[in-house]
Structure 1
Amino acid sequence: MTQTAYSTSGQVIDWIEYHAATKPDARAMVDLASNRIYSYAEMHERVGRAAGMLKAHGIKPGDRVAFLCLNTTDIMELIFGCWRIGAICLALNFRLTPPELAYILNDSEASLILVDDPFKQVAEATKPHCKTVKHWLGTTGIGGDSDYEQEMAKADPVYDFYPQGYEDQCLLMYSSGTTGNPKGVIITHGMVEFTNAGAMRVGDARPDRVSLNNMPLFHIGGLAVTGLPALWIGGCCVIMRLFDVDTTMNAIDNADLNIAVLFMVPAAYNAMRMHPRIDEIDFSRIEIALGGGETVPEPLSHFWLEKGLVIQEGYGMTETCAAGTTLRKEDIPHMIGSAGRPLSHSRVKVVDEDGAEVARGEAGEILFKGASVTPGYWRNPEANAQSFTADGWFRSGDIGRMNAEGYIYIEDRVKDMYISGGENVYPAEIEGILYEMPHFAELSVIGVPHEKWGEIGCVVAVFKDGHACELEAILSHLQDRLARYKMPAHLHVIKELPRGGSGKVLKYQLRKSVPAALG
């Protein structure tokens, strides 16, 4: 039977201490950028020093400690150091501007922030506008001389774990803020534990499997899908500073690293698909390939299936600690296109505008309830009232349907849907068909204003080199596949789609910029 750091009592235990005692020499973390390798015994020591460093700076249980970093083992040390003393770790999107960062730091009342070298200037511009941050520590993110390493070296290690239960908060992550100010999502120890348990069951997790962590660790997918579960079960995290397709391909092909678990957004899988070495790389060591962030186009799933890589698409969000639904290996290929069935600790239903559950196969808003769902937003009762039903169901804001067997299909975001001539149009349906064409590196469909129909569709495309096409070719491909009101009327070509920290296309930016470009 696999041993994990799981607590059945509702009392949180120190995973790193547990594994350091039971398997001290096993690899815990590998940092690709610096070639640093830490065993569980070494990680236990460094987490202790991180905890001691935080205590020396006056951090108390419940205080918020932030990081603004590219992926680095420093993040994991800081997170577990916070948890060891009962503090809350605040993950910051490194793509944010100084005003955006200042808002989050002030709203969260953070006390300390760890800043990676690439973001020093951003931090300096943010600092004058922050009211509560007393300590700004620098790090290189790859070892060597820095504030962080100096403070770690002189810290008195803390090895006693501050008593905490499943209901206690451990992380704070802010939503992307596509409408209004971003909202702080409260993540508890219980949410993390049940997400870990769900990941273990779905992936038949084993401690001998090595996970590649090349998605941003400030995002719930990058942290909670592969990073934390690997350390919970006593496995190894291979950490990449930032997604890079060459580095990713080389890591997968490296027999010494022995990467067995991936989690990536569709854009990353697509970048690998187009890599010139795609036919040279040995993918046979990959046992678990998870996909999320947005719907995985069916042609992309089928391409990787032919390569022997079974992409298990999942569906979740920060508010569900990345958990919700997922496909199992045995569901593929016949269920490709679905986001799977609810995890064991999740309840899912689909409702109409009045909150009544719809019949199987009918579209409606997806609602969640369960052990991995957030108890609410940070100090934001208005957002809580809008996002939760009276009986505690979380409103996802996503449109989907559930088939007779309980599999969820994501139609689109409520806010991404547009209305043409009184008919609802879901861009994801159109995008899935267009990805069958060989022309697109990536694409997005949005609604743009129209005097007669209210809105009409526009394909925003990034073409592969030498594979451009006209709107007529697109319409020809869609003909007989879609109703007339769903047919796009415009094609707009750009060099790159705007994406957020999670890898999702920022359609709200396209809805602002594209209509003006169309004239």
Structure 2
Amino acid sequence: MAVKIQQDFLSFDELLNHWAKESPDQIALEMGERTTTYGEADVLTRQLIALFRENRVGHGDRIAWLGKNSDRYFLLLYAAARMGAVIAPVGWRLAPPEMAYILGDTGTKVLFVEEGFIDTASEVTAAMENAPKVLEAEAAFRMAKDMAPADYQPAALDDPILQLYTSGTTGNPKGVGLSNRNMFSLRKPSMDVAVPWQTYYEDDCILAAMPCAHIGGTGLSAIATSAGIRALVLPEFTPDGVLRAIQSGTTHMFLVPAALQFVIQHPLAKETDFSRLRYLMYGAAPMPLELLKQAVATMPQAGLLQVYGMTETCGTVTMLPPEDHSLEGNERMRSAGKAVPGVEVQIRSEDNSEVPRGEIGEICIHSPSNTAGYWKLPEATANTIDSDGWLHTGDAGIMDEDGYVYIQDRIKDMIISGGENVYPAEVENAIFGHPAVAEVAVIGIPSAQWGEEVKACCVPKPGMEIEAGDIIAYARERIAAFKAPKSVDVIPEMPRNASGKILRRQLRAPYWEGQDRQVS
């Protein structure tokens, strides 16, 4: 097997130009029976740029994708990244009002839609004042293939090319702008750190199984493109789909722990040959030790890499390498690892000064992969990124003397359920209009399956009764099902401090008693 020599490029445009010349017949994207080589991707993305122009999409304009994971989505991303348009993937599991908010907030000019979501797109855009033009994806690609490849001015490295939405504490999601530099700065070979998991071979394949509306899904495309290897795209995560992908030659993949649990407990796992799977990255939620032991036993040849990051850091900023994993378990396996090359991590106090090693504070990140800020939200940007460029994660942690970061709690109230971020304010807003609810507070509680699950604590209006099933159904009509509460506690009054603030920690305490930390 020949080693793929990664190039010191920082953009999709530079990389597609390079691999189209060096490896034109190498498969870039594979989905089902459909494959696209790097040579074909180079031409097709230029044709898509011509399609963008015909629909008045230029530099800095927004387009959007509504559908599951698709090679079509990734090609649209590559085309936008080459000429400086910005693509916003819309989570297909979101409720129509949530979709409409993202489309309205971006000012999307063209919405590319998978065939199965045409009715949803029609419902969403019909209620919008300035609705985007809707193009069915396959029809759009047929049109593009009849066009001459366009000439264009390549995007500047710091121009936004991708806008991912992360839930906001105020109830509305925030658009995180990410640039070519953000996507590729930590994947440069010039980092001069020779590590096995950053060495790729010609027949390597990275699996994209996590949702493309998340950095854990879309971010893998940058790894594949930087290394000039094949990206195998699954429309959505299914345990048998992942196992078949491993059987067919997947060498690298990323899964959230809840997804990994489904994979290794699936009956097909016993029949799957895991010998070609070299590295399994896991993150977005901590890995329970017992599940980790099962993973090691099921796929002993695979190197396990715990990764920690967020949308605002364009993914991974710390990593726990394979040598720090053991079947017996060890203290370091409770950590999120150390900063990857090119990243600085500090634990800071409320006055924004670094605390001594071993003391708790907020995890702060300085990295070329950090977002420049939130779309049209200067105050939120200033509250997250300080004047020196340090990004404040909202996670509380400790750093030991060797630089390993241990996450202790979340300074913000975010809940991570099955790798999905859920903010209490979103769920509370969805429940608050219920006629029987006087007050509501949403918390995360431990879940063996999902890491955390959403619980609503509700105070009824005088003379009213609350039925848990009604609350859950009411919420599901207004927000995505994964955000809706799995359970409801009816309580006589909310615990509050002297200033009247609801004490979420007090609501959570009975459920987290005996846990190592206050996040699962």
TM-score category of the 2 structures, normalised to the smaller one: 0.7 to 0.9
The structure whose RCO (Cα within 8 Å, separation 6+) is larger is 2
Percent of aligned positions that are identical: 30
Matched-pair contact (CA < 8 Å) for 2:11–2:184: no
- Counterpart mapping for 1:36-115 below 5 A: 36-115=34-113
Partner in structure 1 of residue 8 of structure 2: 6
Q: Distance in 2 between matches of 1:387 and 1:181?
A: 16
Q: Which amino acid aligns with 2:146?
A: K
Aligned with 2:277 (options 286, 293, 306): 286
Equivalent residue in structure 1 for 2:344, among 344, 347, 368: 347
Q: Deviations over 1:418-473 (max 9, x none)?
A: 9xxxxxxxx99x95xxx8xxxx444537788799xxxxxxxxxxxxxxxxxxxxxx
Q: Does 1:234 align with 2:225?
A: no
* C-alpha distance in structure 2 between counterparts of 1:394 and 1:125, whole Å: 38
Q: 1:213 aligns with which of 208, 212, 220?
A: 208
Match of 2:146 among 144, 151, 154: 154
Q: Contact between 1:61 and 1:87, CA under 8 Å: does it hold in 2? A: yes
Q: Structure 2 length normalisation: TM-score?
A: 0.77
Letter in 1 for 2:134: W
Deviation track 1:335-391 (CA, whole Å, cap 9, x = no partner) reads 322211111121111122332322222222111111011111111112112212343
- 1:301-355 deviation line (CA, Å, top 9, x unaligned): 1221223133211100110000210112222224322211111121111122332
Contact 1:293 1:502 in 2 (8 A): no
One-letter code of the match for 1:215? M
Partners of 2:140 and 2:389 in 1: CA distance: 42
Give the CA deviation at 1:236: 0.3
Aligned CA distance change for structure 1 residues 450 and 376 (closer, same or farther; 3 Å): closer
Letter in 1 for 2:304: I
1:59-102: CA deviation from partner (whole Å, max 9, x where unpaired):
11111111112111101111111123221111211122222222
Cα distance, 1:414 vs. partner? Answer: 2.1
Alpha-carbon spacing, 1:157–1:502, altered in 2? closer, same or farther (3 Å): farther
1:463-474 equivalence runs, <5 A:
none
Deviation of the 1:108 alpha carbon: 1.2
Amino acid at match of 2:154: P
* Residue 499 of structure 2: aligned partner: none
SS at match of 1:514: strand
Say if 1:207 and 1:234, in contact at 8 Å, map to a contact too.
no
With normalisation by structure 1, the TM-score equals: 0.77
The answer for the alignment partner of 2:247 in structure 1 is 253
Report the Cα distance in structure 2 between the residues aligned to 1:65 and 1:46, rounded to whole angstroms.
17
1:329 and 2:322 equivalent?
Answer: yes
Distance across 1 between alignment mates of 2:227 and 2:111: 29
Aligned counterpart in structure 2 of residue 179 of structure 1, from 149, 170, 178: 170
Pairing 1:433-452 to 2, within 5 Å after superposition? 440-442=448-450, 444=452
What letter matches 1:252 in structure 2? I
CA contact (8 A) 1:12 1:163 kept: no
Is the contact between residue 207 and residue 236 of structure 1 (CA under 8 Å) also seen in structure 2?
no
Aligned residue for 1:324, secondary structure, equals strand
Report the Cα distance in structure 1 between the residues aligned to 2:156 and 2:414, rounded to whole angstroms. Answer: 40
Range with bigger deviation, 302-311 or 240-249? 302-311
Contact 1:350 1:357 in 2 (8 A): yes
| Separation (CA, whole Å) in 2 of partners of 1:152 and 1:393 | 42
Residues 285 and 451 of structure 2 are in contact (CA less than 8 Å); yes or no, is this contact kept in structure 1? no
Within 5 A, what are the aligned runs for 1:120-135?
A: 120-135=118-133
For residues 6 and 30 of structure 1, what CA distance do their matches in structure 2 show? 25
Q: Secondary structure of 1:323's partner?
A: strand
1:216, distance to aligned residue in structure 2 (A): 1.1
Per-residue CA deviations over 1:120-162 (Å, capped at 9, x if unaligned) read: 12211111343444421013xxxxxx4223322322212x452
Summarize the alignment of residues 23-42 of structure 1 with structure 2, pairs less than 5 Å apart. 23-32=23-32, 35-42=33-40
**Candidates 159, 164, 181, aligned match of 1:190:** 181
State the shift of 1:417 in Å: 8.8
After superposition, where does 1:380-391 map in structure 2 within 5 Å?
380-391=377-388
The aligned amino acid for 2:232 is: V
User: Structure 1 CA distance, aligned partners of 2:30 and 2:106?
Assistant: 31
Asked if structure 2 preserves the Cα contact closer than 8 Å seen for 1:398 and 1:414, the reply is yes
Letter in 1 for 2:222: L
Is the Cα contact below 8 Å between 2:65 and 2:90 reproduced in 1?
Answer: yes
**Paired amino acid for 1:379:** K
Query: One-letter code of the match for 1:70?
Result: K
Is 1:368 aligned to 2:365, yes or no?
Answer: yes
How much does 1:12 deviate? Answer: 7.0
- Equivalent position SS for 2:148: coil
Task: Give how far 1:287 is off.
Answer: 0.6
Tell me the residue number matched to 1:312: 305
Contact kept, 8 Å, 1:400 with 1:409, in 2: the verdict is yes
Partners of 1:4 and 1:400 in 2: how far apart?
Answer: 34
Cross-structure match for 2:436: none
1:277 maps to what in 2?
Answer: 268
8 Å Cα contact 1:97-1:122 kept in structure 2: no
Conserved 8 A contact 2:66-2:113: yes
User: Could you say what the CA RMSD is over the residues aligned between the two structures, in angstroms?
Assistant: 3.3
Distance 1:130 1:197, change over 3 A: farther
